[in-house]
């Protein structure tokens, strides 16, 4: 796909990596609209970047469809979707209570919140996007899913790992099913990236994380963007995962 013709939707675009993606699409000459669940952050980012932004809860069907419709009115029928929105609710599946010694299990709400946003969210967004591309008879459209190095299974992240692994499986299924309609689907699996979330970690914890990465540093959001741009522009790429993790294996 020629980048000058990109009309992109970015979920979770008000902060962190998502905001970087919005900025990079603009810098490349593409059109972009974004959403985020935080309405105040949406307004601030939309004002700063002069990009159409919309409040949206990607786990809710009606909210996703409203975002798609409003964004399409703002930039035209989208031909790129970046499923970036995600949350963490980390915790062990089971641990011993410090006083009673009884097993304490992961709360079902902590499990479900992550599954709803990180797995159901991309399902709902991709469904709206693919239907719109089909109706518009777009000759080529691209979905980019943000998975994670944690998809391999990371202790303390059962819910997150399950969602990100499921998203890779969805990437393969969508690539196979949607190719006949001109839709390519790829996934990016970042490692530890420098974002407001990681910068909020204690310095000693951050240093320990960086020491375990072969390149001895965290990645930058712009380095994840380079992988996304590759997926968008390479017309023979679909159904695969690009790992951008500094060589780290969990």
Tokens (6 digits) for 65: 């469809």
Tokens (6 digits) for 25: 């699409």
In a domain, 178, yes or no: yes
pLDDT tens for 174-233 read 999 999 999 999 999 999 999 887 887 788 888 988 999 999 999 999 999 999 999 999
Angle between helices 108-115 and 158-178 (to 10 degrees): 30
Q: Give catalytic status of residue 160 as yes or no.
A: yes
Rounded to the nearest angstrom, the gap between the alpha carbon of residue 235 and the centroid of all alpha carbons in its chain is: 21
What CA–CA distance (Å, rounded) separates 125 from 65? 8
What CA–CA distance (Å, rounded) separates 197 from 90? 13
Domain residues for the domain of 35 are: 3-242
Q: How many CA atoms lie within 13 A of 192 on its CB side?
A: 22
In a domain, 250, yes or no: no
In a domain, 27, yes or no: yes
Q: Parallel, antiparallel, or unpaired for β 53-55 and 80-83? A: unpaired
In a domain, 69, yes or no: yes
Tokens 């919005």 belong to: 22
In a domain, 97, yes or no: yes
The percent of residues in the chain predicted with pLDDT above 90, rounded, is: 93
Identified catalytic residue from 68, 160, 181, 236: 160
pLDDT tens for 157-172 read 999 999 999 999 999 9
Mean pLDDT score, 92-96:
97
CATH code (residue 224): 3.40.50.720
In a domain, 249, yes or no: no
- Name the domain count of the chain: 1
pLDDT tens for 20-30 read 999 999 999 99
In a domain, 188, yes or no: yes
Residue 232 CB partners (closer than 8 Å, separation 6+) = 1, 3, 6, 80, 142, 144
In a domain, 31, yes or no: yes
């Amino acid at each position: 796909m020629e980048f000058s013709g990109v009309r992109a939707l970015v979920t979770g675009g008000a902060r962190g990596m998502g905001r970087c993606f919005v900025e990079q699409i603009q810098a490349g000459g593409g059109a972009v609209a974004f959403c985020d669940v935080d309405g105040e952050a949406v307004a601030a980012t939309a004002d700063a970047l002069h990009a159409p932004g919309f409040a949206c809860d990607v786990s809710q069907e009606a909210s996703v469809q409203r975002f798609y419709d409003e964004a399409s009115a703002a930039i035209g029928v989208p031909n790129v979707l970046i499923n970036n929105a995600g949350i963490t609710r980390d915790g062990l599946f089971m641990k011993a209570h410090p006083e009673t010694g009884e097993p304490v299990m992961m709360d079902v709400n902590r499990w479900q919140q992550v599954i709803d946003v990180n797995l159901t969210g991309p399902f709902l967004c991709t469904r709206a996007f693919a239907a719109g591309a089909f109706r518009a008879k777009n000759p080529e459209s691209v979905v980019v899913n943000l998975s994670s190095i944690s998809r391999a299974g990371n202790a303390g992240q059962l819910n997150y790992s399950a969602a990100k692994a499921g998203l890779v499986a969805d990437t393969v299924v969508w690539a196979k099913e949607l190719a006949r309609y001109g839709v390519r689907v790829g996934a990016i699996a970042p490692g530890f990236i420098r974002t407001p979330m990681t910068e909020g970690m204690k310095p000693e914890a951050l240093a320990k994380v960086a020491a375990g990465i072969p390149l001895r540093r965290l990645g930058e959001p712009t380095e994840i963007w380079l992988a996304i741009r590759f997926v968008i522009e390479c017309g023979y790429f679909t159904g695969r995962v690009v790992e951008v993790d500094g060589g780290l294996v969990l």
